[in-house]
Structure 1
Amino acid sequence: MTMISRVLGLVRDVLFARFLGAEASADAFYVAFKIPNFLRRLFAEGAFAQAFVPVLSEYRAQGSQEAVRNFIDRIAGCLGSALIMISVLVVVAAPIFTGVFGMGFMFNNPEKFQLTTELLRITFPYLLLISLTGFAGSILNSYDQFAVPAFTPVLLNISLIVAAAVVSPMMQEPVYALAWGVIVAGILQLAFQVPFLLRLGLLPHPKVDWGDESVTKVLKLMAPAMFGVSVGQINLLFDTILASFLPDGSITWLYFSDRLTELPLGVFGVGIATVVLPNLSRQFISGAQRYSATLDWALRMIMLIGFPAALALVVLAEPILFALFQYGEYRPVDVQMSSYSLRAYALGLVAFMMIKVLASGYFSRQDTRTPVRIGIIAMVVNMGMNLLFVLPFHFYWQMGHAGLALATSCSAFLNAGLLYRGLRREKVYQPDDLWLRFGGQMLIANIAMVAFLLIVMRYMGDVSSLEAYGRIVRVLSLCVAGIGIYVFTLWVMGIRPRHLRVAS
């Protein structure tokens, strides 16, 4: 289901590139959409889910359905009331928030600043809708119903596709159609999950009770987790602030680079972490011996998928961008600029995936403080590298928007490394003895894949000279062939499907 959503997301981004290009209005929309999306990571699938799911698993383990319903009702009431207040505040004070996240617009481009402010007033209520959607999805995930929450982003993509392809050409300023499409999507996503909650008998009846013991427990877990789990998003927003001072198009180039990196990250990294968290929570509560084995399996899957995905994005950056986005308003120079930041983000893809899984090793044990300490270190390092790579202290080092992406990737490796060291030091996670052999097999398979891609690309020619259909067919053929070489080499090296199952 996540794969369907991500593929439709690519279709959506192709239309964005075609109708918006990398102009000032596109930058304005991406900032206005990024602000509620950032807070969504805190209130929905980020810190809230990491705090809520382990506590809900604990209530389930006690065996009282009535206690579970009471817990859900009170969390729904408190979460909903907080989100309503935040939404009203931001809509009223939109210029202030635009000034924070689009600081460069305020000083360098007043028209872009005004447009961003108007778009933010339309898009921000999406935070309320999508956070409640994430809350519903966390309940379903806790009951091992993963498909429905994974499918809901499809509705966002469909809504934005219709807005971009059908509604925007009718409007004098096309980006307004996209902003209203975001709100329609939020309504559809929330409504879609209601029947499945009813089937479980867990449709919330909100009750505001901030003094309730269960609410207090979730808030105590959520407060540090809000920072710890969202360090990557805070880094991306800091990138946006700095990018607003860079030339027009910088935010758009970063957006498309990030979207392509998010494809494997969202399908596999987030997908694996989403499935692992409730299982780890139950195993920890019951004292099961499989805890370390489950974590080990998740990391093995991350390595198996993350490394070839990262290498493929580095090698195929320009062909992929040409095939997907170089139409209409999106120019060849935009593809070239996006390829720089795409390669920089791709270098950190494995670390981005590892963070999702390793953080679950802490949150499943209701330890939200350790990721916070690690997150602070990673964020400070990221900000320092942002300034080093972007500001012209050393002209020969200045990398513009690509420097922002590279700094994010470097800090992600630091974050993942510290999380891993903490789990090993606490003896929560113990790698099995097969990692050395597995690593060697995977290394050979990745070398074979990269060598194949480089050889074929040398004789393939420039895809930018082809028509749209020819570009897509050629790049898709390259990707499929690369996957085939990788899988075939793994098979020759002795890896079979049974080796990829979690240990029992």
Structure 2
Amino acid sequence: MLSQLTGRLRFPSLMRRGLPIVMATLISRPLGYIRAAIQAWLFGATAAMDAFVLAFSVPSFLQVILLSGPLSGVLVPTFSAVRDDRKALSQLFSSLFTACLLASILLGLAAGLAAPTLIHLVGPGLAPDVRALAVFLFRLMLPMLALQALLSVCKGALNTLNSYGPPEYAQVAFNLIFIGAALLLTPYLGITSLALGASLGALAQVVLQFPYLRRHGVHYRPILHFKAHIKSILTLLQWAFLSTMVVTFGGQIDRALASLLFPGAISALFYAFLLFMLPASLVVIPLSTVLLTDLSAIYQNGDITHVQRRVASALRIMMLLTVPVAVIGAFLSEPLTRLVYEYGRFQTADTIRTAQALQVFLLGLPFYGGMHMLSRCFYAIHDTKTPATVGVVALIVNIASDVILMQIFSHQGIAMGRLAFWLVSSCTLYAIFQRRCRRFLTNNASNSSLTP
């Protein structure tokens, strides 16, 4: 019975091709938790750690909403059109890489000048000395703006060629460099060592992609020459930008509201989300990454019925894997948090607060997976407007839930607001996708009946 079920769900195909991502995650995620545990050991859930979390999140936020975020949903569909022509693929890759590099340098200069204002916006409740520290750390991590965007371009090209491992294994290098900087430099530089480790780790991630790109026949030249692709890229980017901004802006609002609670609230949510991302990275990310590549290729052939079947199969696999993990993980949230984090300056009270947020995040895992995979589905069929529109509605629900629930449940209420975002997004996207498929099948049947 189970073998028949997994056969219908295309379990071997999707998960086998996503196995490099799973393997990379099994290596990089434990290193990520060691990295987080070292942070907790060295700095605890303190005001200084709040400053670092905010300073680390702002460059990521800016590059995600302005650069890598919008591109991540459109790169594979765009590269898929020229995947069999290595010369054309190299030219398109080079042009996108150069454009991202130039754009991120300009963005970095502007962000450096506006750093005090940006930090005040994302952490309005920070004390003046903590805000000044966050501004300093933020400026040290500005290179991440360019480096993460460039990594996204490399990842898009490699994923189009069914090479999923290298971008994921690069995270191992990031974690190792970050950990090394924290252990070696903290006695001399304090929390500044974390900012230096983050920037150096991001640089290593990009450098490590080029041997794999060359192996697949993709070469970089500093050019800006898009030819006919610029129109399709700009069309897809119009709504992908808004969709990405909504998701990342929601996270920034959560942190800003958490800064109005107690010292360490931002850190508790941060540590909880890191733990939550382990099952998400092992199940949701591999499935959605492979699914995007598959659907982009299928859509190029105009087979919408096949798209529908593939999406339904992937969603069933995702639910089969995430629901048990969500339930079991929610029950074990406190011992898991204690095992990973409760060392050094990370006290029992920090464990309890982090576990409370983790419990809520884990219960939302199936909805996070549904949102993530269905968004990729719409991107693959060149529809970036639907996820953006749904995201705006879900963000309004998220903010309203945060404001109401944080009054009752403190930082756990903010985690509930994030769960509400995932729930609204996934259910709405699924309903729209099903309606669109029914409309397509109806129209197709009508056209067939009219054909002599």
Residue number among 375, 389, 410 corresponding to 2:391 in the alignment: 375
Mapped to 2, the partners of 1:157 and 1:235 lie a distance apart of: 26
Q: Say whether 1:326 aligns with 2:342.
A: yes
Matched, 1:200 2:210: no
Secondary structure of 2:81 counterpart? helix
Matches within 5 A, 1:227-266: 227-266=242-281
Match of 1:268 among 283, 302, 313: 283
Deviation sequence 1:346-376 (CA, Å, 0-9, x none):
1211111111111111000110011111011
State the secondary structure of the residue aligned to 2:437.
coil
- CA offsets per residue over residues 53-97 of structure 1, 9 Å max, x none? 10111223xx54333222222222222111111011111221111
Conservation of the 8 A alpha-carbon contact between 2:330 and 2:363:
yes
Match of 2:40 in 1: 17
* 2:248 corresponds to 1:225: no
1:296–1:429 Cα contact (<8 Å) kept: no
Q: Does 1:364 align with 2:380?
A: yes
Q: Is the 8 A contact 1:351 1:416 kept in 2?
A: yes
Name the counterpart of 2:145.
Answer: 127
Sort the Cα spacing of 1:223 and 1:3 in 2 relative to 1 into closer, same or farther, 3 A. farther
For 2:205, the aligned partner's letter is: Q
1:408 matched to 2:418? The reply is yes
C-alpha distance in structure 2 between counterparts of 1:39 and 1:277, whole Å: 24
Q: How far apart in 1 are the matches of 2:111 and 2:228?
A: 30
Structure 2 CA distance for aligned equivalents of residues 20 and 292 of structure 1: 49
Whole-Å separation in 2 of the counterparts to 1:233 and 1:265: 17
1:18/1:330 contact within 8 Å kept? yes
Output one character per residue of 1:131-151: Cα deviation in whole Å (capped at 9) or x when no partner.
101211110010001111111
- SS in structure 2 opposite 1:290? helix
2:160 is the counterpart of 1:151: no
Q: 1:435 maps to what in 2?
A: none
- Give the distance between the partners of 1:10 and 1:428, measured in 2 at CA: 44
State the structure with bigger RCO (CA 8 A, min sep 6), 1 or 2. Answer: 2
Cα distance in 2, alignment partners of residues 405 and 295 from structure 1: 28
Structure 1 residues 40 and 204: CA distance shift in structure 2, 3 A:
same
Find the aligned partners of 1:417 and 1:126 in 2 and give their Cα distance: 34
Letter in 1 for 2:73: Q
Listed as ranges, the matches of 1:478-493 within 5 Å are none
Partner residue of 2:330? 314
Q: Does 1:71 align with 2:92?
A: yes
From 105, 123, 126, give the equivalent of 1:84: 105
Q: State how far apart, in whole Å, the 2-side matches of 1:363 and 1:416 are.
A: 15
Amino acid at match of 2:418: T
Q: Does the CA-based 8 Å contact 1:229-1:359 persist in structure 2? A: no
* Residue 245 (structure 1) shift: 1.4
1:42·1:48 contact (CA, 8 Å) conserved in 2?
Answer: no
Contact 2:74 2:237 in 1 (8 A): yes
- Residue 308 of structure 1 deviates from its aligned partner by 1.7
Taking structure 1 as reference, are residues 72 and 286 closer, same or farther at Cα in structure 2, changes over 3 Å only?
A: same
Q: CA deviation at 1:110?
A: 0.1
RMSD: 1.8
Shift in alpha-carbon separation, 1:98–1:32, aligned structure 2, 3 A: same
1:103 match = 124
Q: Whole-Å Cα distance in 1 between the matches of residues 433 and 366 of structure 2?
A: 18
Instruction: Tell me which amino acid in the other structure corresponds to 1:135.
Output: V
1:58 aligns with 2:114: no
Q: Which residue of 2 aligns with 1:294?
A: 310
Q: Distance in 2 between matches of 1:149 and 1:428?
A: 37
Distance 1:20 1:252 in 2: 11
2-side partners of 1:96 and 1:367: how far apart?
35
Query: Equivalences for 1:374-453 in 2 at 5 Å?
Result: 374-390=390-406, 392=407, 398-427=408-437
Question: Alignment partner of 1:201: what SS?
Answer: coil
| 8 Å contact kept, 1:239–1:404 | yes
State the shift of 1:259 in Å: 0.5
Structure 2: gaps of 5 or more residues: 1-23, 441-452
* Maintained 8 Å contact 2:68/2:148: no
Q: Secondary structure at 1:104's aligned position in 2?
A: coil
Describe the SS at the equivalent of 2:343. Answer: coil
Alignment of 1:451-490 (within 5 A): none
Q: Matches of 1:15 and 1:150 in 2, distance apart? A: 22
CA contact (8 A) 2:342 2:351 kept: yes
Residue in structure 1 matching 2:366, options 336, 350, 355? 350
2:27 partner letter: I
CA contact (8 A) 1:277 1:360 kept: yes
Give the number of aligned pairs. Answer: 416
CA offsets per residue over residues 83-117 of structure 1, 9 Å max, x none? 11101111122111111111211xxx000000000
Give TM-score, length-normalised by structure 2.
0.88
Structure 1 match to 2:293: 278
1:453 match: none
Query: Deviation at 1:124?
Result: 2.0
Instruction: Report deviation, 1:18.
Output: 0.6
Query: How far apart are 1:201 and its partner, in Å?
Result: 2.5
* SS in structure 2 of the partner of residue 59 of structure 1: coil
Give, in whole Å, the separation in 2 of the partners of 1:344 and 1:98: 27
Give the gaps of 5 or more residues in structure 1: 393-397, 431-504
C-alpha displacement of 1:200: 2.1
2:100–2:146 CA contact under 8 A, matched in 1 = no
Amino acid at match of 1:365: I
Check the 8 A contact 1:283/1:291 in 2, yes or no.
yes
Looking at structure 1, the residues matched to 68 and 426 of structure 2 have their Cα atoms a distance apart, in angstroms, of 19
Match of 1:8 among 31, 51, 75: 31
Name whichever of 313-322 and 111-120 sits farther off: 313-322
Give 2:58's aligned residue: 35
